Amino acid sequence: MPCRLIWITPDAERLMGYCARVSNPENQENPDVAKLLRFCAKNGHWSVFEMADMCIEIQTTRAISAQIIRHRSFHFQEFCITGDSLITTILPANGLPAYIPIKKLYERQSWKNYRGIQLRVYDEQKKSFTTAGFREIFFTGAKAVYEITLADGKKIKCTKEHKFLTRDGFQPLEDVIGLEMVGDRATMTKTGFVGTNGIPCHQDYEWLANARRLTPPRSLGQIARAADTSTHTIRKWLRIHQLQYSPMEVAQGHDKKHSIHGDPKIWAKRDRGNTLRARWTQVMKVEYLGIQDTYDIEVDHGSHNYVANKIVVHNSQRYAPVQKIEEVNPRSQDLKNRQSSHDDLSPETKDWFAKAQDEHFAEAKRFYDEALAKGIAKESARFLLPMASGTTIYMKGTVRDWVHYINLRADPGTQLEHREIALAAKTIFVEQLPVVAEALGWERSTVYNGH
Domains of the chain are 3-77+391-446 (3.30.1360.170), 79-316 (2.170.16.10), 340-388 (1.20.5.3070)
Checking if the pLDDT of 443 tops 90, the result is: no
pLDDT over 90 percentage in the chain: 31
Average pLDDT over residues 297-304: 85
Q: If residue 413 lies in a helix (H) or strand (E), which one and from where to where? A: none
Whole-number Å distance between alpha carbons of 132 and 153: 27
pLDDT band for 269, please (50, 70, 90 cuts): very low
Count helices and strands in the chain by DSSP H and E runs: 16, 21
Percentages helix, strand, coil for the chain, rounded to the nearest 5?
A: 35, 30, 35
Q: Three-state DSSP class for 171? A: strand
Residue positions annotated with a catalytic role = 409
- pLDDT for the residue numbered 445: 47
Residue 84: exposure state from Cβ atoms within 10 A (0-12, 13-18, ≥19): middle
Residue range 239-260, pLDDT digits in tens: 898 888 777 776 665 655 544 4
Of 77-91, 358-372, 375-389, which gets the smallest average pLDDT?
A: 375-389
